[in-house]
Structure 1
Amino acid sequence: MTTMTLDPSLSLQVSSINASKNRVIVEEIDGLIRVYKDGHVERAQIMTHAMCSSASEFGVSCRDVIIDNYTNIWARFYVPNSSHTKLPLLVYFHGGGFCVGSASWSCYHEFLAKLASKAGCVIVSVNYRLAPENPLPAAYEDGVKALVWLRQQSLLGIKNEWWTDHCNMSNIFLGGDSAGANIAFNVSIRLARQIDIKGLILIQPFFGGESRTHSEKYMTQPPRSALTLAASDAYWRLSLPPGEKRDHPWCNPMAKMAPNYLEELRDLSVLVCISEMDILKDRNLELCVKLGHKVEQIVYKGVGHAFQILNKSTLAQTRVHELTTHIKNFVRR
């Protein structure tokens, strides 16, 4: 195991969007990412990167650990300081349409540090490879590799007082928000027969499809929404394998040609957290119906996509408290 000190300036290849005029832009999500015909990718530095040391104010210990040097997969660990018992393990994947984001982004760092402390669980936030440089299934493969690596630490009897001694490896949950929830969903399908996963926590899971849902077409979104329909389409064009459309099973598990994944997930409890003003609302509700009776669905009133990390309003913070309580109850059940 290798512990590292992450230099936020190096965690992503980020540059200001100032390309020369002779480059042809083939895809752009305003203020987030710009992709050029020659394959060059630029990501705007829209979020500060938090150091692990800042997590102490939330009552948790935090370190970054390299999982795979070759692909540069690493994870940020959060361990509550006050626990004297074995805690559930939540393996978490950040959002960002598969194309942007980092486990060191300050918004995720603060949210997950608080969640680990208040929900009483060890959280491993996985930093996976991003599209379009690494289109799907790269993120799924990184998720699988992270889970297998974590399991190996337990099977090999590796002891480390700051996380393994506090972690119950027989009580593992997968979770994430937006694209991260999509990753958690697909990783669970791949590992359901290999690793005993107790449950899934899907926060505003990012799915799509060729046909528009009612919420995609007509949802009135909050100002400065974190996900527009145009951005959603662009993320899928950048992240799906070349030539694939939005009814690919990775994008649309409800499509007619999608494999029957219910058999793989039959033993999992699933918590689906839905935002009332999210364009993904209808797809999230359809997923709940598809998964059946073992799903607990909760709709958070008056908030939009990614409210838990981006919205600091009084209403949003009330909903974040509710979300934290629901996750706590789910993992401690």
Structure 2
Amino acid sequence: MFDILDVISTGSTEPDVAHDFSPVMIIYRDGRAKRLVGNEIVPPSLDPKSNVLSKDVVYSQEENLTSRLFLPNNINPNKKLPLLLYFHGGGFGLETPFSPTYHSYLNTLVAESQIIAISVDYRRIPEHPIPILYGDSWAAVKWAASHADGDGPEEWLNSHADFNKVFFAGDSAGANIAHHMAMRYGEERLVGVNLIGIILVHPFFWGKDPIANEVDVGETIRELMETIWRCACPTTSGCDDPLINPMNDPKLPRLGGNKVLAAAAGKDVLRDRGRLYCETLKNNGWGGMVEFMEAEEEVHVFHLSNPTCENAVAMLRKIVSFIHEE
């Protein structure tokens, strides 16, 4: 995984290159992309370390979109487990649920939490700009909801998912998606599905005017963030678009669920946007429980590259507690 500050530049001398986000991605003027990281995939399996089973299932026949399901092995066949829908990060354009990074992380999260999880694959930018990936992610949520009566197409969900205890989670761009899925749930609801809360790890939120730690990063980084966002959503009105700046969304009090956990990293340029998100929820009439945790001296999505470090373990424990506390 990469920190946004690892991106060297957005310029290029090649005439057919629109944006050079080396060392992670190059976007061409015709809409193609060369992904320089996050391309490796691993098959589903019984993971010997975590004792978690995984398998891939199609949730959209029309678009041939697949998700990876994770289930603790050797559980009571009649036991119902909290259901987590996880949306991977990668700047809306990198990584998949099938990458070693996310496969490993979900194995660990499922083992520690004793939950059933759906790691959602969605079409990526720039070939499929926002809002396409939001639509894909909502289709995955609705596919999961089709199992609420125990008669859906996937037996793992029919047998083991507790639809009274549903959570959305994600990191970075995936946390942005998780937020918007909770917003849509708050607007539309889903019969038989009770969204308890959302877990946002280093969420990719931004805004036109700098706040707190953003003041010190300089115009180059701010221009980079805006360029990335405009590549993701070419039709955007800018960095105060509620899609990237939910604090600017008058509908924010309609957020689904009744609790939020947001995690931040001390050396992450996105740190204080996550903090402001929590403060806004507390003060705008939403009414749910909001928790914020910060890992000092850590960088963006550090827990994926260094999952056994002290702060990563502490964050995992907090997520487990958040899922199971009443």
TM over 0.5: yes
Q: Does 1:240 align with 2:240?
A: no
Query: Which of these residues, 35, 43, 56, is aligned with residue 51 of structure 1?
Result: 43
1:61-72 mapped onto 2 (5 Å cutoff): 61-72=53-64
TM-score (norm 1): 0.83
Q: What is the rounded CA distance, in whole Å, between the counterparts of 1:179 and 1:75 in structure 2?
A: 17
Deviation at 1:86, TM superposition (A): 1.0
Query: What is the aligned partner in structure 2 of residue 81 from structure 1?
Result: 73
The code of the aligned residue for 1:214 comes to A
Q: Does 1:260 align with 2:255?
A: no
Query: Which of these residues, 269, 282, 288, is aligned with residue 279 of structure 1?
Result: 269
Deviation at 1:276, TM superposition (A): 1.4
Q: What is the rounded CA distance, in whole Å, between the counterparts of 1:330 and 1:253 in structure 2?
A: 23
Q: What is the rounded CA distance, in whole Å, between the counterparts of 1:229 and 1:56 in structure 2?
A: 44
Deviation at 1:81, TM superposition (A): 1.1
Q: What is the rounded CA distance, in whole Å, between the counterparts of 1:160 and 1:243 in structure 2?
A: 37
SS in 1 for 2:189: coil
Q: What is the rounded CA distance, in whole Å, between the counterparts of 1:331 and 1:127 in structure 2?
A: 22
Q: Does 1:331 align with 2:326?
A: no
Q: Does 1:125 align with 2:119?
A: yes
SS in 1 for 2:264: strand
The code of the aligned residue for 2:99 comes to W
- Change in 2 beyond 3 A, CA 1:78/1:231: farther
Q: What is the rounded CA distance, in whole Å, between the counterparts of 1:156 and 1:325 in structure 2?
A: 30
Unaligned runs of at least 5 residues, structure 1: 1-20, 221-227
SS in 1 for 2:151: coil
SS in 2 for 1:282: helix
The code of the aligned residue for 1:187 comes to M
Q: What is the rounded CA distance, in whole Å, between the counterparts of 1:240 and 1:206 in structure 2?
A: 13
Query: What is the aligned partner in structure 2 of residue 90 from structure 1?
Result: 84
Contact 1:219 1:278 in 2 (8 A): no
Query: Which of these residues, 9, 19, 34, is aligned with residue 26 of structure 2?
Result: 34
Deviation at 1:233, TM superposition (A): 3.0
1:261-305 deviations in Å (ceiling 9; x for gaps)? 21344x521111111111111111100001116101111122110
% identity of equivalent residues: 29
Q: What is the rounded CA distance, in whole Å, between the counterparts of 1:302 and 1:39 in structure 2?
A: 37
Contact 2:97 2:103 in 1 (8 A): yes
Contact 2:306 2:312 in 1 (8 A): no
SS in 2 for 1:26: strand
Q: Does 1:182 align with 2:170?
A: no
Deviation at 1:89, TM superposition (A): 0.5
SS in 2 for 1:155: coil
Contact 1:98 1:235 in 2 (8 A): no
Query: What is the aligned partner in structure 1 of residue 297 from structure 2?
Result: 302
Contact 1:23 1:36 in 2 (8 A): no
Deviation at 1:252, TM superposition (A): 0.8
Q: What is the rounded CA distance, in whole Å, between the counterparts of 2:204 and 2:126 in structure 1?
A: 17
Q: What is the rounded CA distance, in whole Å, between the counterparts of 1:146 and 1:39 in structure 2?
A: 25
1:109-258 mapped onto 2 (5 Å cutoff): 109-155=103-149, 157-158=151-152, 162-192=156-186, 193-195=188-190, 196-218=194-216, 231-242=224-235, 244-255=237-248, 258=249
1:34-93 deviations in Å (ceiling 9; x for gaps)? 112222222124453222126343210100111112223211111011432211001000
Deviation at 1:161, TM superposition (A): 5.1
Deviation at 1:260, TM superposition (A): 2.5
Q: What is the rounded CA distance, in whole Å, between the counterparts of 2:121 and 2:153 in structure 1?
A: 23
Q: What is the rounded CA distance, in whole Å, between the counterparts of 1:210 and 1:26 in structure 2?
A: 23
Q: Which stretch shows the higher mean deviation, 34-43 or 295-304?
A: 34-43
Q: What is the rounded CA distance, in whole Å, between the counterparts of 1:104 and 1:133 in structure 2?
A: 19
SS in 2 for 1:124: strand
Deviation at 1:156, TM superposition (A): 5.7
1:291-321 deviations in Å (ceiling 9; x for gaps)? 1161011111221101111236xxx621121
SS in 1 for 2:47: helix
1:187-222 deviations in Å (ceiling 9; x for gaps)? 1111124132110111111101111223234369xx
The code of the aligned residue for 2:250 comes to P
SS in 1 for 2:246: coil
The code of the aligned residue for 1:41 comes to A
Contact 1:29 1:234 in 2 (8 A): no
- Change in 2 beyond 3 A, CA 1:44/1:54: farther
TM-score (norm 2): 0.85
Q: What is the rounded CA distance, in whole Å, between the counterparts of 2:216 and 2:298 in structure 1?
A: 16
In the alignment of these two chains, the number of paired residues is 300
